[in-house]
Chain A
Amino acid sequence: AQTVTQSQPEMSVQEAETVTLSCTYDTSESDYYLFWYKQPPSRQMILVIRQEAYKQQNATENRFSVNFQKAAKSFSLKISDSQLGDAAMYFCAYRIPFYGGATNKLIFGTGTLLAVQP
């Protein structure tokens, strides 16, 4: 069965600094997607970034980038120039693509709570 592990329950970063959140996963599939979701205190789940396993290039979205290591099954999130608004719970998630009757099931990690110090 696929699993997603986030080994850092809490992290802290100074404003304007860089922080990396870790995520590892276990799967026997070769094609899949990985996601990072942000959940601020408002509780809303916000998609931060996505990565397709077939793409070797690491995804980037403004200050957010990933380090995708397929062989190691690692998918870390780097936040550059951290801002107070980045303080949130961050969830790593995995899913297989839509084909062959696959469902829309995401498998989530347990989350990392990021605090940003002014």
Chain B
Amino acid sequence: NAGVTQTPKFQVLKTGQSMTLQCAQDMNHEYMSWYRQDPGMGLRLIHYSVGAGITDQGEVPNGYNVSRSTTEDFPLRLLSAAPSQTSVYFCASSSPRSRDGSLYFGPGTRLTVT
């Protein structure tokens, strides 16, 4: 049981490049989400999904795109990277059968945009 996995662990991009951060979970969780972590700002929600085919925006969605074609996978796409997107990105999942909605986090991806 791998839990939540993210790839890559580290990435350096040039301004204007695009890339996809991968996230997968093997716990059959319907809910998945992406957060970014910046110094002094905690974690902020980018996008989330309540099931395959259903996604919605979080607090800071601009510059990011998501899709959810399967229960297991929830990739995050950076359309045209900007230095402001330098951050640590976390994918998380949870089950609606869990009343408190405890999140299971992946190990994070550190992204640097130059």
Contacts and interface: CB of A to CB of B under 8 A. Distances in A.
A108 B44 CA distance: 7
Query: Is the contact region of chain B dominated by helix, strand, or loop, or is it mixed?
Result: strand
A84 interface: no
Given A108-B42, A111-B42, A35 B98 contact: no
Nearest to A9: B40
Contacts, number: 64
A109 B99 CA distance: 22
Contacts of B61: none
A111 B38 CA distance: 11
Given A50-B102, A108-B44, 7 more contacts: A43-B107, A45-B103, A45-B105, A91-B43, A97-B101, A98-B101, A103-B56
9 contacts: A45-B90, A52-B100, A91-B43, A98-B99, A104-B96, A104-B103, A105-B45, A105-B58, A106-B43
Interface of A: 4, 9, 33, 35, 42-45, 47, 50, 52, 91, 95, 97-98, 103-106, 108-111
